[in-house]
Amino acid sequence: MRIALIQMNSRVASRDENVERACGFIREAAREKADIVVLPEFFNNEYFPQYRDSRYMDYAEAEDGPTQSRMKEEARRHGIYLVSTIFEIARPGLYYDTAMLINPAGEIAGKYRKVHPAALLSLEKIYFRGGSTFPVFRLNEWTIGFSTCYDNLFPESCRCLALNGAELIVALPGLAA
């Protein structure tokens, strides 16, 4: 399996521009025959949880919002798996930091919601709640799991993934504050 990990600095309040930049990196990874492309946490916006401002709640998107719709299209176009993390609104008043596994058909094959919202040099806990599980997903012949940013600091995250059957754990990069 060929994995492409994308790290990019997202620009302030330029969601569409950030998404287009990510699509360029996805195309490059697909040309290099990547089977799965992993985008960083909140790639579509700047790392907003370092500030206290209610206007950032407007960054939240549903799984069928503009960012994930574009990512589904890219996965389908290139026939790849794609891991795309957004500030998700699950329903009014319920927000998560969610990594979604998008399959080559452009469908969401699974979700992992960051379990430990960061509290060190960050205000993530005022923007979203933590998830409660470390799911694993079947990707061809592999069983994989994800751990995002602050979750990577807790050995229990990887232990839970391993106990759930993960043969490969992808540590999703966070954005530098």
Active centre residues (catalytic): 41, 114, 149
Please write down the HEC assignment for all residues of the chain: CCEEECCCCCCCCCHHHHHHHHHHHHHHHHHCCCCEEECCCCCCCCCHHHCCCHHHHHHCECCCCHHHHHHHHHHHHHCCEEEEEEEEEEECCEEEEEEEEECCCCCEEEEEECCCCCCCCCCHHHHCCCCCCCCEEEECCEEEEEEEHHHHHCHHHHHHHHHCCCCEEEEECCCCC
